C-alpha cells in the first residue's frame, strides 16, 4: 500500500540526476527523469489522491549547495515528503575540479541538512544512495571516495529513521544484466532506462508498486 496519502506534496531534491531540466517557471513540469516517471505512475494508480510532485534538483549541486538553499527550496515549500539524492558531485569534483569533499565533511553537511528539515517541517524523508557505474577505467578509483559517502547516506538513514533507496547495489546488479552504458553512458547520468530503474526502486520503496 502506498505510503503517500491524499493531498500530500512530494519534493525531489538533488543534482543533475534529479534536475533533468525541470521548468523553473512551471511547477507542473518536473523534468525528463525519474521524478516524472514516479509522478506518472503514482498519478495513474491514484488519480483521486491529488498528490503534488515538485522538483528542485539543481545540476552540479553538492551537499553544501543543498544546505545553502534549505530555507527556500525545502522548508518554505512545506513538503509532506522530501526525497534526496546527493553525493556523486561531492566525489566527482575531487577528480574533475580538484575540489574534494571528505567523508567527514559530507556527513556533517548531510546531518545538518536533515536536522534543519526535521526541525522546521513535518516532512517524512526518503534518502537515495548516490551510485556509480564504472564505464571508464579511471572511474575505478572513484570508489575509494564514493563508497564512504554511500556509507554516510546509509548511516544518516538509520540515524534519522528515513526510508532508503539502495541505488548503488541496484545499479551494480543491473550492470550485470546488460552493459553498464545501457544504464548510464558516462557512469553517472542515467539513460532513460537508468531513470526507469531509479523510479521503479523508488516506487517499490514507497509501496506504490
Catalytic machinery residues: 16, 186, 189
Q: How many CB atoms are closer than 10 A to CB 138?
A: 9
Helix (H, G, I), strand (E, B) or coil at 84: strand
Q: Count the residues in the chain.
A: 209
Grid cell in block for residue 105: 565533511
Q: How many CB atoms are closer than 10 A to CB 207?
A: 11
First to last CA, the chain: 8
Provide the angle, in degrees to the nearest 10, between the axes of the packed helices 192-205 and 34-45: 50
Amino acid at each position: 500500500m502506498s505510503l503517500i496519502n491524499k493531498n500530500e506534496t512530494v519534493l525531489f531534491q538533488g543534482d543533475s540526476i534529479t534536475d533533468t531540466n525541470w521548468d523553473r517557471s512551471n511547477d507542473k513540469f518536473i523534468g525528463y527523469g525519474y521524478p516524472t516517471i514516479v509522478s506518472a505512475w503514482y498519478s495513474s494508480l491514484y488519480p483521486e489522491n491529488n498528490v503534488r510532485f515538485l522538483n528542485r534538483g539543481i545540476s552540479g549541486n553538492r551537499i553544501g549547495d543543498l544546505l545553502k538553499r534549505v530555507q527556500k527550496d525545502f522548508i518554505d515549500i512545506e513538503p509532506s515528503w522530501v526525497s534526496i539524492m546527493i553525493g556523486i558531485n561531492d566525489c566527482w569534483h575531487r577528480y574533475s575540479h580538484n575540489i574534494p569533499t571528505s567523508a567527514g565533511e559530507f556527513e556533517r553537511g548531510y546531518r545538518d541538512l536533515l536536522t534543519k528539515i526535521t526541525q522546521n517541517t513535518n516532512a517524512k524523508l526518503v534518502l537515495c544512495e548516490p551510485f556509480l557505474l564504472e564505464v571508464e577505467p579511471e572511474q575505478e578509483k572513484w570508489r575509494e571516495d564514493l563508497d564512504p559517502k554511500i556509507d554516510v547516506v546509509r548511516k544518516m538513514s538509520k540515524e534519522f529513521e528515513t526510508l532508503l533507496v539502495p541505488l548503488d547495489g541496484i545499479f551494480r546488479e543491473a550492470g550485470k544484466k546488460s552493459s553498464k552504458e545501457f544504464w548510464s553512458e558516462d557512469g553517472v547520468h542515467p539513460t532513460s532506462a537508468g531513470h526507469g530503474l531509479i523510479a521503479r526502486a523508488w516506487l517499490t520503496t514507497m509501496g506504490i508498486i
